[in-house]
Chain A
Amino acid sequence: MKFKRVSIILLVTILSVTILFGCKTKDSDAPGDDAVVDTQPKEKVELLVSAAASLTDVMGELKEEYKAVGPETDLNFTFGSSGSLQAQIEEGAPVDIFMSAAQKQMTALKEGSLMLDDTIKTLLVNKVVLIIPKDSDLKISSFEDLGDKDIKKVAIGDPGNVPVGQYSEEIFAHLDLKDKIKSKLVLGNDVRSVLTWVENGEVDCGIVYATDAFTTDKVTIVTEAPDGSHKEVTYPVGVVKDSKHPDESKAFLDFLSTEKAASIFKKYGFSMK
């Protein structure tokens, strides 16, 4: 029967593919839980860094950079939202370093005595910025200009559930713009959609994090939000208490505060604390 033959061929293919992949991993990258140490002259230390998703790009570059500084340390990253990273650490995920995008999660872990308290520090600041499309010919130079009648649509994150939207509202309240701007607001359900709208010119301007604005060349940053107009957006970092390599972890955190690392962070739109 033709049908039977087809299914047998399929089965054989699937099985052989499985075997192929199975073999390949064993020589190339032995998973951490197998704990098979390669016979290398120097014993390598593997660190797992749980980092907020917004750090994805910059950590990739820092990882390359760190190869020269700490050649004995192998860095692995896992990226996710700070809240789920917190839950994973609470459930004993084998994490060495936690880099959160907000203080709340770090504080919770600290209170649960899951962190090495003296290693916790605030490393980065993310600025809130006003952006316009690259080819925009609107005359706009500050947040106050948002009240002008030439500006018809302003995209911000939904203040109900997007943090940057809440900061945007704080800025409007601080500058006393709330009433003038109310009818112009377009709410995005995350910061990326705000960015996309501005990139495509669907709105006149938008409010996003500096790091978002740095990911594209289709927008121009008009200005940063004035100091004290909103709660500061900070990234705390620290070593997890259960880390098996606290010294190497601390060394990596120290590296993140160096001039070299700072220049890379700046390239991606972060400011150092």
Chain B
Amino acid sequence: MDYSPLLISLKVSITATFITFLIGIYVAYLVTKLNKFKGLIDGVLTLPLVLPPTVVGFFLLVSLGKNSIVGKYLALYDKSVVFSLTAAVVASTVVSLPLMYRTTRGAFEQLDRDIIHVAKTLGLSEHKIFLKIMLPNSFPSIMAGTVLAFARALGEFGATIMVAGNIPGKTQTMSVAVYTAVQAGNRHLAYKWVLVMAVISFVAMIIMNRFDKNQFAKVRKAVS
């Protein structure tokens, strides 16, 4: 059995999760601060979650293809994003970002305003409030969001096959390998990849539940 889809999947989803983690938290922070256009920006950021992945993929294909601004710029250096590992990372990042952003924003908004106000009166800068108060207090939710984003990035299929293609050994992730195996009538191979994916996703869920439990434990401790 060729293990390249497993490696590619892990590589793509870990990189995508890392990017999503940074952007997701930052964007969530910005949106909580926003007064105007909150609904609009929130809608745009959540769109990849509600749109069918193939639609997202087609949109990415068009906006990264050779007729796009990005594509034309890269063409100057004789490069192209379409059908590369980068494209797979972009696809996974875009579809997993809403999960990270939503979970983190929820946590930020549920923070006790009083703590932040106290910090302000004590002269802490915005920057420090974010790092020392908002982040640590939302930590369990952020981790849960990260795990969700990772699981989503790992399972990404529709957008990936559109922009990154299905090149065995290069851009063929596990989900795409399952599709190819089924198309080729290779049931056994499909079963194997399904099993591998199920195990990884299951482990991710267990990790997420752990964070949830810790969160409740903390709350209970604080109350009692």
Q: Do A and B come from one complex?
A: yes
The answer, among B14, B61, B78, for a CB contact under 8 Å with A17, is B14
The answer to the question of B167 belonging to the interface, with a C-beta cut-off of 8 Å to chain A, is: yes
CA distance A35 to B84 in the complex (A): 12
The answer to the question of B162 belonging to the interface, with a C-beta cut-off of 8 Å to chain A, is: yes
The answer to the question of B116 belonging to the interface, with a C-beta cut-off of 8 Å to chain A, is: no
B168 contacts A77, C-beta separation under 8 Å = yes
Query: Which stretch in A48-56, A140-148, A167-175 binds the other chain?
Result: A48-56
CA distance A48 to B58 in the complex (A): 20
CA distance A56 to B178 in the complex (A): 12
A87 with B166, Cβ < 8 A, contacts A56-B184, A57-B186, A92-B66 known: no
B170 contacts A29, C-beta separation under 8 Å = yes
B139 nearest in chain A by CB position: A7
A57 with B185, Cβ < 8 A, contacts A31-B85, A33-B86, A91-B65 known: yes
Shortest distance in angstroms between A152's beta carbon and chain B's nearest beta carbon? Answer: 26
A32 with B84, Cβ < 8 A, contacts A24-B7, A91-B66 known: yes
Collect the chain B residues with CB atoms within 8 Å of residue A50's CB.
165
CA distance A6 to B165 in the complex (A): 37
Shortest distance in angstroms between B209's beta carbon and chain A's nearest beta carbon? Answer: 13
Collect the chain B residues with CB atoms within 8 Å of residue A14's CB.
14
B170 contacts A93, C-beta separation under 8 Å = no
A54 nearest in chain B by CB position: B183
B79 nearest in chain A by CB position: A33
The residue in B71, B85, B86 that gathers the most chain A C-beta atoms within 10 A of its C-beta is B85
CA distance A57 to B181 in the complex (A): 9
B185 contacts A212, C-beta separation under 8 Å = yes
Collect the chain A residues with CB atoms within 8 Å of residue B15's CB.
18
Instruction: Find residues 91-137 in chain B having any chain A CB closer than 8 Å to their own CB.
Output: none
Collect the chain A residues with CB atoms within 8 Å of residue B45's CB.
none
B169 contacts A88, C-beta separation under 8 Å = no
The answer to the question of B161 belonging to the interface, with a C-beta cut-off of 8 Å to chain A, is: yes
Instruction: Find residues 1-57 in chain A having any chain B CB closer than 8 Å to their own CB.
Output: 3, 6-7, 10, 14, 17-18, 21-22, 24-25, 29, 31-33, 35, 48, 50, 53-54, 56-57
Collect the chain B residues with CB atoms within 8 Å of residue A21's CB.
7, 10-11, 14
The answer to the question of B55 belonging to the interface, with a C-beta cut-off of 8 Å to chain A, is: no
Collect the chain B residues with CB atoms within 8 Å of residue A53's CB.
179-180, 183-184
Known: A78-B83, A91-B66, A92-B80. 8 other contacts (CB 8 A): A17-B14, A18-B11, A21-B11, A31-B84, A32-B170, A33-B81, A53-B179, A80-B161
